Amino acid sequence: MASVTDPSAFQNRSLGKQILFSIITFGLYPVYWLYITNVQLAEGTDAEFNPMTRTLAIILLSPVLIGLIWMWKMCEDAEAVTDQDGPILFLFFLVFSPVAWYLIQSGINETAQGA
């Protein structure tokens, strides 16, 4: 766990202004905020990392991870309308997604016809 080594590296910022800037810049301010926060953490703690690399990783990789988690959940839920296990559907999505689309939509269609 990192500890503070230079408190002067941190800058007090208004949360209200951050929300306002986020709205005014159509969501671009949070990207800037991520970067300046990582710069402050790198300079003000004993943690060793590149602020730009960390910021880009958060921006570029987080949506992928979140997307994979939600895809996993969807595949588990799709077990209810298909005769496939969720992990199998998830693997189809990762390897050749049209197969997963076909299996899930076919299951949905069969369920809808039976209703």
**What are the pLDDT digits (tens) for 20-49?**
999 999 989 999 999 999 999 998 999 889
pLDDT of residue 3: 79
Residue 112 has pLDDT above 60, yes or no: yes
Residue 12 has pLDDT above 60, yes or no: yes
pLDDT of residue 6: 86
Residue 115 has pLDDT above 70, yes or no: no
Q: Which two tokens stand for residue 99?
A: 């197969």
* pTM for the predicted model, two decimal places: 0.64
The number of CA neighbours under 13 Å toward the Cβ of 16 is 0
Smallest CA-to-CA distance from 92 within 80, 110, 79 is with: 79
d(CA 99, CA 78): 13
d(CA 28, CA 92): 35
**What are the pLDDT digits (tens) for 64-101?**
888 889 889 989 999 888 888 999 999 998 998 889 88
